[in-house]
């Protein structure tokens, strides 16, 4: 079996090469077959010099007309060849031996391969590969296109190609088992696996290079589809396993009605719909696995509270995990306000608690006295023992990654049940991406903002206007407006980032001593951050100069002006999150995106999208197109989305199709699913738990 055939069985593979191959993620012969070329060279035909297009790689022949050495900053050897029709091409070599130079004598015929460029003396090729041709017995042309593989230092193309060729002849003897059903291949018009692999490693001259380049060749699509089906099937199996587990069936809650009555607002239709979906899930005796997506400010916290109360009333505990301490504290305040009057005890944990306080909170959690427990990732530390965990709410899950989600989930795993799981994210995620990243979860969307919100008015301005923007901000603050100023992310370094914020804060206080300015950044201690945040909330500060630490969740409805510096450096999803800190009350809010000129065309287009829409889903779709999934999901989450061949940005249109077929396979033939996973997950990728 090629899936068990280790690579050192191939000719020419010693320990050193093996190490290099492992570095490329290649362990068995089958891995080589799935190691697809990056691109191809066409050495199957000769192109006439006259027909060569600039920028294309071609094979051509000509007679040596002259050769010359030029001296300068870099010595170069120039060899001029002439086609039978009289056109000239210059070959330019920067590295050469003088002996080599002597070989290029006038009248000899050369066959060269390289990229045609325009040079100072007409058409040229830099460092082409070449051979001398005996015109009586010219060398044969290649039968297939020549693949160029991704490789690593010390493993040349020629060696790698030889190994793949050995793998291909083994494939002829031991073809791989076709795992995709015929009706699937027929309906999608895709080739079988073995011929797809032959096509991609040894494409015939008539195979469409353009299609292959654009990854739209049926042979490539076939592999992409198989890989995506495998990933979707893995998620569905995970989900099926989860649904076979027991969870406490939580009856409808009376206290939830009391909470609803006590709120100063009525739920929007979207909130009601999502709440009902959650409440229905909680009634069932197996774990809810639901993702709630709500655009910024759509009111997710109250939904979490209403779900929590259903568990608490039934005698179970609820863990609420937030990505930052600022957010955990904000949730704590909201939950205390809403739930304590109803007699529900809320505990909380943070990193800066005094030992005695922490002991007290831990004891309350362990005894079951505390029904709601709020915190950051501190919640899944070993010292935390839940008494009867019935529901886990994870806010902004992509900040945590699947591992942490599962870790908290395991905490509640006593003998008789698993907790229900509710994941909340404020980052709208395009549907296809959500299907891949969260395919094991049901999806609810809060697609409506509370009434009375006015769309944020956004302006895009050059940094040259910075001082007048500062001036304008001062005037507004004097009229009672509260504002954020978000500082540039010049370096990844937390220190420099903090310094930039400090400098800006000082500029304001130096200029306008009567302006009440607060400063918040990642290097402040938790306690200091909380103090500043609370002062801003209580309107003891007019302006909060911040780094992107305020990106998620911060809720100060009275703030209505935000300036974001160096906006061109941030992803759209992140800008949307930041901007979502204003426009949360009924005031008309404004946002200014400052950019450092000159701004590229794409840069301009991106900021214009921000100016033209506040619809998070549209922004996320654009971001997916421009920056890819990492930007939207965060790197931790995308860690679990590494594919061998598929690319979520390029191939997202296949995802719904893959999901459909994965479902059919999971329902009808789990053996195929297991085989597919063995084939694709191999040594490198673990779709479920990476
Ligand atoms: N139906 C509603 N009507 C009016 N106000 C509401 C409604 N639902 C929630 N709110 C209020 O809207 C504000 C935003 O809610 P919340 O903080 O829950 O938003 P969110 O969805 O978590 O947003 P983000 O993801 O941006 O943090 C809060 O002040 C909340 O009390």
Domains within the chain, CATH numbers bracketed: 7-41+146-214 (no CATH), 49-133 (2.40.50.140), 255-446 (3.40.50.300), 457-613 (3.40.50.300)
The mean pLDDT of 524-535, rounded to a whole number, is 85
Report the nearest-CA residue for atom 23 of ligand 1. Answer: 297
Concatenated DSSP letters for 139-194? PPPPSSPEEE----TT--HHHHHHHHHHHHHHHHHSPPPP-S-HHHHHHHT---HH
**pLDDT digits 0-9 by tens, 364-418:** 999 999 999 999 888 877 788 899 999 999 987 555 555 555 565 666 555 468 8
Question: In the chain, pLDDT over 90 holds for what percent of residues?
Answer: 46
Ligand 1 pocket: which of 266, 267, 297 to mutate (most atoms within 8 A of CB)? 297
Please say whether the dihedral angle defined by the alpha carbons of residues 660, 662, 665 and 667, taken in this order, is positive or negative. Answer: negative
**Predicted local confidence at residue 553, as pLDDT:** 64
Instruction: Tell me, in angstroms, the distance from the centre of ligand 1 to residue 256's CA.
Output: 17
Distance CA 332, CA 297 (A): 17
Report the nearest-CA residue for atom 16 of ligand 1. Answer: 299
Which residues have CB under 8 Å from 148's CB, separation 6+?
A: 37, 38, 39, 40, 41, 157
Q: Which residue bears the tokens 């306080």?
A: 357
Give the nearest ligand 1 atom to 266 CA. Answer: 1
Residue 598: asked if its preceding bond is cis (omega within 30°), the reply is yes
Tokens coding 645? 């061949």
Distance CA 63, CA 79 (A): 10
Closest Cα to residue 573, out of 626, 647, 612, 522?
Answer: 626
**Predicted local confidence at residue 633, as pLDDT:** 55
Distance CA 193, CA 181 (A): 11
**Predicted local confidence at residue 565, as pLDDT:** 92
**Predicted local confidence at residue 628, as pLDDT:** 61
In order of 151, 160, 659, the CA distances from 156 in angstroms are 7, 6, 38
3-state secondary structure of 280: helix
684: confidence class by pLDDT, cuts 50, 70, 90 = very low
521: confidence class by pLDDT, cuts 50, 70, 90 = confident
Beta bridge partners of 652: none
Distance CA 327, CA 333 (A): 10
The kind and range of the H/E element at 520 are strand 517-520
Report the nearest-CA residue for atom 30 of ligand 1. Answer: 299
Question: Residue 80 in contact with residue 65, Cβ under 8 Å?
Answer: yes
Report the nearest-CA residue for atom 5 of ligand 1. Answer: 450
- Residue 111 reports pLDDT greater than 90: yes
Highest-pLDDT range among 424-433, 459-468, 666-675: 459-468
**Predicted local confidence at residue 603, as pLDDT:** 87
Count the neighbouring beta carbons within 10 Å of the beta carbon of residue 232: 27
Report the nearest-CA residue for atom 31 of ligand 1. Answer: 299
Closest Cα to residue 108, out of 83, 133, 130, 138?
Answer: 133
In order of 314, 374, 490, the CA distances from 337 in angstroms are 21, 14, 39
Give the nearest ligand 1 atom to 298 CA. Answer: 21
Tokens coding 584? 């949360």
The mean pLDDT of 96-114, rounded to a whole number, is 89
**Predicted local confidence at residue 475, as pLDDT:** 96
Distance CA 553, CA 536 (A): 15
Ligand 1 surroundings by CB, under 6 angstroms? 265, 267-268, 271, 294, 296-302, 426, 450, 553, 555, 557, 580, 584
Tokens coding 298? 């759509």
Instruction: Provide ipTM, 2 decimals.
Output: 0.98
Give the nearest ligand 1 atom to 271 CA. Answer: 1
Give the nearest ligand 1 atom to 452 CA. Answer: 4
- Residue 550 reports pLDDT greater than 90: no
**pLDDT digits 0-9 by tens, 637-677:** 444 456 888 887 788 889 889 999 999 999 988 889 888 98
DSSP 6: B
Q: In this predicted structure, which of 148-152, 579-583, 622-626 has the lowest mean pLDDT?
A: 622-626
Report the nearest-CA residue for atom 28 of ligand 1. Answer: 299
**Predicted local confidence at residue 113, as pLDDT:** 95
- Residue 288 reports pLDDT greater than 80: yes
**Predicted local confidence at residue 690, as pLDDT:** 31
95: confidence class by pLDDT, cuts 50, 70, 90 = confident
- Residue 431 reports pLDDT greater than 80: no
Instruction: Tell me, in angstroms, the distance from the centre of ligand 1 to residue 460's CA.
Output: 27
62: confidence class by pLDDT, cuts 50, 70, 90 = very high
């Amino acid at each position: 079996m090629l899936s068990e055939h280790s690579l050192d069985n191939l000719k020419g593979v010693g320990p050193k090469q093996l190490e290099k191959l492992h570095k490329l993620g290649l362990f068995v012969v089958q891995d080589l077959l799935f190691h697809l070329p990056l691109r191809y060279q066409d050495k199957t035909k000769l192109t006439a010099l006259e027909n060569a297009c600039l920028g294309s790689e071609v094979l051509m022949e000509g007679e040596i007309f002259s050769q010359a050495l030029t001296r300068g900053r870099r010595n170069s050897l120039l060899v001029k060849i002439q086609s039978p029709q009289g056109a000239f091409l210059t070959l330019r070599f920067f590295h050469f031996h003088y002996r080599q130079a002597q070989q290029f004598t006038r009248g000899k015929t050369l066959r060269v391969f390289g990229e045609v460029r325009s040079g100072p003396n007409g058409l040229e090729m830099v460092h082409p590969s070449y051979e001398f041709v005996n015109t009586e017995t010219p060398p044969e042309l290649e039968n297939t296109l020549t693949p160029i593989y991704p490789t690593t230092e010390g493993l040349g193309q020629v060696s790698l190609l030889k190994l793949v060729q050995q793998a291909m002849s083994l494939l002829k003897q031991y073809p791989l088992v076709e795992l995709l059903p015929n009706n699937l291949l027929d309906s999608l018009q895709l080739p079988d696996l073995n011929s797809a692999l032959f096509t991609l490693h040894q494409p015939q001259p008539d195979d469409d290079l353009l299609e292959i380049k654009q990854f739209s060749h049926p042979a490539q699509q076939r592999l992409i589809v198989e890989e995506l089906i495998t990933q979707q099937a893995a998620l569905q199996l995970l989900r099926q396993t989860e649904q076979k587990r027991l969870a406490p069936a939580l009856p409808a809650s009376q206290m939830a009605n009391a909470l609803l009555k006590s709120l100063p607002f009525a739920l929007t239709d979207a909130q009601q719909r999502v709440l009902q979906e959650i409440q229905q899930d909680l009634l069932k005796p197996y774990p809810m696995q639901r993702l709630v997506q709500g655009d910024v400010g759509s009111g997710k916290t109250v939904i979490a509270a209403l779900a929590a109360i259903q568990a608490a009333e039934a005698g179970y505990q609820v863990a609420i995990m937030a990505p930052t301490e600022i957010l955990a504290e904000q949730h704590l305040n909201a939950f205390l306000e809403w739930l304590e009057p109803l007699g529900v005890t809320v505990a909380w944990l943070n990193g800066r608690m005094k030992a005695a306080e922490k002991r007290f909170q831990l004891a309350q959690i362990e005894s079951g006295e505390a029904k709601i427990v709020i915190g950051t990732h501190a919640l899944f530390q070993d010292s935390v023992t839940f008494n009867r965990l019935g529901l886990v709410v994870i806010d902004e899950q992509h900040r945590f990654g699947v591992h942490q989600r599962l870790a908290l989930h395991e905490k509640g795993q006593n003998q008789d049940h698993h907790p229900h799981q509710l994941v909340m994210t404020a980052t709208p995620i395009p549907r296809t991406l959500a299907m891949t990243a969260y395919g094991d979860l049901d999806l609810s969307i809060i697609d409506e903002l509370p009434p009375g919100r006015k769309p944020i008015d956004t302006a895009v301005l050059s940094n040259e206007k910075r001082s007048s923007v500062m001036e304008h901000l001062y005037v507004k603050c004097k009229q009672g407006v509260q504002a954020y100023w978000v500082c540039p992310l010049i370096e990844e370094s937390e220190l420099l980032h903090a310094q930039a914020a400090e400098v800006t804060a000082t500029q304001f206080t130096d200029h306008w001593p009567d302006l009440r300015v607060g400063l918040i950044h990642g290097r402040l201690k938790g306690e200091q951050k909380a103090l500043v945040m609370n002062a801003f909330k209580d309107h003891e500060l007019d302006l909060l100069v911040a780094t992107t630490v305020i990106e998620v969740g911060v809720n100060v409805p009275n703030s209505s002006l935000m300036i974001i510096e160096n906006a061109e450096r941030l992803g759209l999803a992140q800008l949307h999150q930041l901007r979502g800190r204003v426009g949360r009350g009924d005031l008309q809010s404004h946002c200014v995106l400052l950019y450092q000129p000159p701004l590229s065309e794409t840069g301009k287009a991106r900021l214009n999208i921000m100016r033209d829409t506040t619809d998070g889903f549209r922004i996320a779709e654009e971001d997916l197109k421009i920056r890819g999934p990492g930007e939207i999901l965060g790197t931790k989450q995308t860690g679990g989305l590494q594919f061998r061949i598929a690319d979520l940005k390029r191939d997202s249109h296949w995802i719904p199709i893959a999901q459909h077929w994965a479902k059919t396979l999971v329902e009808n033939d789990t053996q195929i699913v297991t085989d597919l996973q063995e084939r694709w997950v191999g040594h490198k990728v673990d779709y479920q738990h990476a």
